[in-house]
Structure 1
Amino acid sequence: MSSTNNTAVLVLQQPPLNTRCTDWYLRPIAGVSLLLRNLLELNESNLRELFIYIPHCTPAENLLLSKELADPRLPHTPRLLEGKSALKEFLQATNHVKIFHGAFLHSNQVLKTALAEMPIEGNEPTYTTISLTEEEILQWEQPFISSDQTPEKIDASPFPSARLFILQNSRPLEKESDFSWHSKRLIYASGLSNDSFMDRVITRRISNKLTHYFVTTALTPNHITLMSLIIGLGSALLFFQGSFWAILAGAVALQISAWVDCVDGEVARLKFMKSEIGAEFDILCDNIVHISVFFCLGMGLYFETGQGIYKALGAFAVLGNLLSFALLNQNIIKGKAQADSHDAVVPEKKSGEPPEIANRDFTYYLLGFSLFGVSSWFLALTAVGSNIFAGYLVYSRRKQ
C-alpha cells in the first residue's frame, strides 16, 4: 500500500435538476470554472496528487472535463477515476487520502487552517472529517446530495486511511444563483491584508466593480497593468498643459489609472495568475506613471506661470520618488506577497522600518488640491516629503 500525505480526491456528484456535468462543473466562478478553481485551491493547500471521481458523466462529458484538467496553472495533471470499482481499488491501495465534495467551493486558506488543526472562531468556514465507508461510495452513485444530507454518524470504515472532508459554515453550490453569489464574494475578498484606509473605503469598492467585468475577459493581469500605464501616461500629458482644467482632467485620469491599477492584482489572485515578474512589472509601471506625473506637473505649472521654481519642484519630486523606489522596490514586492497570503501571520515591524504607505493614495490628495486650483501646493509638499522619506530610508538602512 502506497503512503502519502498530499493525495486528494475530488468527487463530482450528479448536478441538480438534470443539469449536464459539463454545464455545472465548467461553469465559471470569478473567471475560473468550478472544477478548475477547486483543483487549484487544493493544489495551493500542498495537495499535489489530485484525482477526480466522476460517477455520472458520459464519456463525451468526461472528455470535456479532461481538457479542463490540462490547464497550465496546474503543476500536475489530475487523473480521473472512472467507475466505483476504480475508486475502491485506489482507496484500498493508498494511505492518507483526503476526499472532497465537488459541490462546495473549497479554499486553500480554510483547508490549511484545518490541516494545521488551528482553532476557528465564530461561524467561519471550517472542515470536519469522517471516515469513508462503503455506504458513502454507494451514496455518490445517487443524484445530487445537498449539504444537509451528510451522514451524522458513520460506523467502522473499510478504508480507515481515507477521510471525507466536509466543509461547514459555507454555502454549497446547489442552484445556479449560488455561482453568482460566490463570484461576488470572492471578488469582494480579493484585496490585500495591508490595504490602506483609502483602499478599503474607496478604491477597492470601485476596483471590485471593474474586476467583476475583467475576470470574464481573456485579458491577463499584465494587459490590465499596461492599460493602467497608458491611462497614467495620458494623465501626465494633461498635467503638462498646465491650465486649471487640464490639471483637473489629469488628476481625474490619474485616479482612474489608480483604480485600474488595483484590478490587475485582483484578477491575478482570482484567476491564479500571480507571478513575481508580474508584481515587478506592476511596480515598475506605477513608478513610471508617478515620475511622469511629477515631471509633467512641474513643467506644466512652469509653462503656465513662467516661474522656474516649479521646474525645480518637479525635478525634486522625481528625484525623491526614484530614490524611494530604488530603496523600497524589493520590500514592496515582499510586502505584497505577504499581504496576499491572508492565511499567513503578518510579521511585526522591526525598529527603524518605514511605515507601510499605499503609494497610490496620493492620487486622492492630488485630485483634491487640483479641484481647488492649488496643485502647486501638492507639488511642493511632494518635492519636500519624498526626499525626506528617501533620506529616512537611507538613515534606517545605515542604522541597521
Structure 2
Amino acid sequence: MPLVNTRVTPNHLTTVRLLIGLIGALCLARGGYGWVNLGALFIVISNFVDHTDGELARVSGKSSRIGHFYDLASDALVTVLLFGGLGYGVRVASVREWIGVGVSPFLLGCVAGIAVALIFFLRMRIEEMEGKAGTKQASLGGFETEDVLYLLPLVTLFSGVAPFLIAASIGAPLFAAWVVIDYRRVVRRSRPQPEAKQEASQIWVSR
C-alpha cells in the first residue's frame, strides 16, 4: 500500500472519509436531480475511502482501539446522515406515489438512520464480547451488506430515491431486529453457566 511508509495514519483516512460523507449527505439534503446525484457520488467515494483506513492499519501495524472506535463512529454517522439527507431532500408527493400515503420522507429517513445507528452500536458491543469474528457480515462474491451503498448512484440516476428510502425504512429496522436477537444470544452465551459457578464455589470450599 503506497501510504505505509508515510506520516498518513488510518485516522487521517477515517477523517477524510467522514468529511466526504458529510458533504455527500449535505448534497442529498439539498434535493433536486443534480444535487442528489452529486451527493451519491460523494457517498460512494466516502465508502471507498472507508475500506482504506482498515487496510492501512493492518499492513502498517498502526491499529488502535481508539482508531477502531473512531472508524465505527464515522461509519454510523455518515450512514445515519445519508438516510436523513435523502429523506430531507425528497418530496412528500414522491413517497405518496409509491405507498399511497403522504408520509414524511424525512421521518422515513430518520427511521432508517436510527435503525442503522442501533445496528452499528450493537455490532460494536458484540465485537467487544466475541471479537471481529462475531460481527462478520454476510457476503456474496466478496461483497458485504454495506456495499449496497455503491448502488446509490444508480438509484439517484434513475430517480429511484423515494422507493429506495421506503425500502430502507422497512429493511433497516428488520435487520436491526435481527441484530438485537443476535446480540441477546451473544450476551446469554457470554454469561457464566450455573454449573461453572457451582464448580468454582466447590473449589473455594475445598480449599
Output the TM-score relative to the length of structure 2: 0.74
2:6 aligns to what? 217
| Alignment check: 8 A CA contact 1:280 1:333 kept | no
Does 2:82 match 1:286? Answer: no
Verify: 1:395 aligned to 2:181, yes or no: yes
Please provide the CA RMSD for this pair.
Answer: 2.7
Matches within 5 A, 1:1-400: 187=1, 212=2, 214-302=3-91, 308-332=103-127, 337=132, 356=138, 358=144, 360-398=146-184
Aligned-pair CA distance for 1:259: 0.9
Task: Tell me the CA shift for residue 267 of structure 1.
Answer: 1.2
Structure 1 runs (4+) greater than 4 angstroms displaced: 303-308, 332-338, 397-400
Distance 1:397 1:289, change over 3 A: closer
The equivalent of 2:197 in structure 1 is none
Task: Show the counterpart of 1:112.
Answer: none
Distance 1:284 1:293 in 2: 14
Corresponding letter in the other structure for 1:225 = T
Kindly indicate whether the alpha-carbon contact (under 8 Å) linking 2:33 and 2:159 is maintained by their aligned counterparts in 1.
yes
- Contact 1:242 1:304 survives alignment (8 Å): no
Give the 3-state SS of the residue equivalent to 1:299 in structure 2.
Answer: helix
| Alpha-carbon spacing, 1:237–1:283, altered in 2? closer, same or farther (3 Å) | same
Q: Deviations over 1:256-313 (max 9, x none)?
A: 0111111111111121101121111101101000011110110011389696431221
C-alpha separation between the residues in 2 aligned to 1:398 and 1:333?
14
User: In the alignment, residue 50 of structure 2 is paired with which amino acid?
Assistant: D
Q: Distance in 1 between matches of 2:176 and 2:81?
A: 18
Counterparts in 2 of 1:336 and 1:371: CA distance versus 1, 3 Å: farther
Note the C-alpha offset of 1:362.
2.3
Q: Distance in 2 between matches of 1:365 and 1:237?
A: 19
Aligned length: 176
Label 1:396 to 1:225 Cα distance change in 2 as closer, same or farther (>3 A): closer
Post-superposition shift, 1:227?
0.5
Q: Would the alpha carbon gap of residues 259 and 282 (structure 1) be closer, same or farther in structure 2, given more than 3 Å must change?
A: same
> Cα offset for 1:391?
1.4
Specify whether residues 219 and 398 from structure 1 end up closer, same or farther in structure 2 by C-alpha distance, changes over 3 A only. closer
Ranked by relative contact order (alpha carbons within 8 Å, sequence separation 6 or more), the top structure is: 2
Give the match's secondary structure for 1:360. Answer: helix
Which amino acid counterpart does residue 117 of structure 2 have in structure 1? L
Bigger drift between 230-239 and 257-266 goes to 257-266
Which has a greater percent of helix? Answer: 2
Per the TM alignment, residue 393 of structure 1 is displaced from its structure 2 partner at its CA by 2.4
User: What residue identity is the alignment partner of 2:115?
Assistant: G
Quick one: distance in 1 between partners of 2:24 and 2:130? 28
Match for 1:237: what amino acid?
L
The separation in 1 between residues aligned to 2:120 and 2:79, in whole angstroms, is: 11
The structure having more radius of gyration, on CA atoms, is 1
Tell me if structure 1 keeps the 8 A contact 2:138–2:145. no
Within 2, Cα distance between the matches of 1:302 and 1:308? 10
Measure the CA separation in 2 of the matches of 1:336 and 1:269. 16
> What TM-score do you get using the length of structure 1 for normalisation?
0.40
In the superposition, relative to structure 1, how do residues 254 and 295 fare at CA in structure 2: closer, same or farther (>3 Å)? same
Alpha-carbon distance in 2 for matches of 1:272, 1:355: 24
Residue 373 of structure 1 aligns to a residue whose secondary structure is coil
Instruction: Report deviation, 1:396.
Output: 3.7
Q: By percentage of residues, which structure has more strand? A: 1
Identity %: 30
In 1, Cα distance between equivalents of 2:56 and 2:152: 27
**Letter matched to residue 325 of structure 1:** F
Give 1:64's aligned residue: none
Q: Counterpart of 1:356 in structure 2: which amino acid? A: A
Instruction: Report the Cα distance in structure 2 between the residues aligned to 1:226 and 1:336, rounded to whole angstroms.
Output: 24
Contact 1:369 1:377 in 2 (8 A): no
